[in-house]
Amino acid sequence: MREDVTIMQKLFECLRESVRKPELFQAGELLFWDDPHISKSMLEAHLNPDSNGASRTLPIIEKTVEHLVRTSILKSHDKVLDLGCGPGLYSSRLCQKGIRVTGIDISKRSINYAQKKADELQLDIEYVCSNFFDITYEHVFDSVLQIYGELSTFSDEARNSLLRIVHKALKKDGLFIFDVSTRVLRMREGLGNRWYFAEDGFWQSGRHLVLEQGFDYPDNDVWLNQYTVIAEDGEFKTYRIWFHDYSLQTINEVLQDNGFKVEYVWNDLIGETYSNGGDWIAIAARKV
């Protein structure tokens, strides 16, 4: 009986905490994308050819690589750094175009997959398992890639820190190629409030309950997708994915403040002509 009371108390505390709006960019679980179970789920999502949950679909990835190479934004023999490379979906295709690629990701599982695939295809790609905030390259790369809105997931301080790291890693006049999400996308795709039960799932194995909640911070153009995962024994973990959305004006100001000048802008990285009001803004910014 006492054990049941304890579990109910934990559950009540979890529910109480889950509805409380966190401070801006308050951290959740520290072990996240490199968590043994979540990294397995993420790799499966990356490799699902019909899903854009973790990576864009393969046709979009291939069109992105074709666009960047066809327009000579990326050229044969360029040295390119792929930040957050995951299982190497872009890196491998770029290498096949004659580009010298270094891919970095925090997930050991994804890096191991990417390296195995490169070995099978006899692709000369350098893969590094690391947090890209820890890299120390100086004037090494012609271009740095960060694709699928990852720059939008950082606080202003972390974003500026990363931009300084990228700036330092680039050669003179090098390009930072990336995309960011807009408020239009977030208002359509930000989490609502719901819960579901799973026997086994993305966040953990075994029976558990997931509470999903979205929190809006409109004065900062920030949105939080929060996932509270409650295990059968009453233990719970809270995962937070933050999104700082941008307009062309606001991302341009950020780039200027961090030593970059916008060279190209599109609706997406397959090269669709930019128009205001889209879900994404894709940019190639020149180091100045």
CATH class of this structure's domain 52-182+246-287: alpha beta
What pTM did the predictor assign? 0.93
**pLDDT (0 to 100) of residue 5:** 53
**pLDDT (0 to 100) of residue 131:** 95
| Segments in the chain below pLDDT 50 | none
Tens digit of each residue's pLDDT (9 = 90 or more) over 167-224: 999 999 999 999 999 999 999 999 999 999 999 999 999 999 999 999 999 999 999 9
Cα–Cα distance measured from residue 71 to residue 97, given in angstroms and rounded to the nearest whole number: 13
Under 8 Å between Cβ of 128 and 102: yes
Domain residue limits, the chain: 2-30+185-243, 52-182+246-287
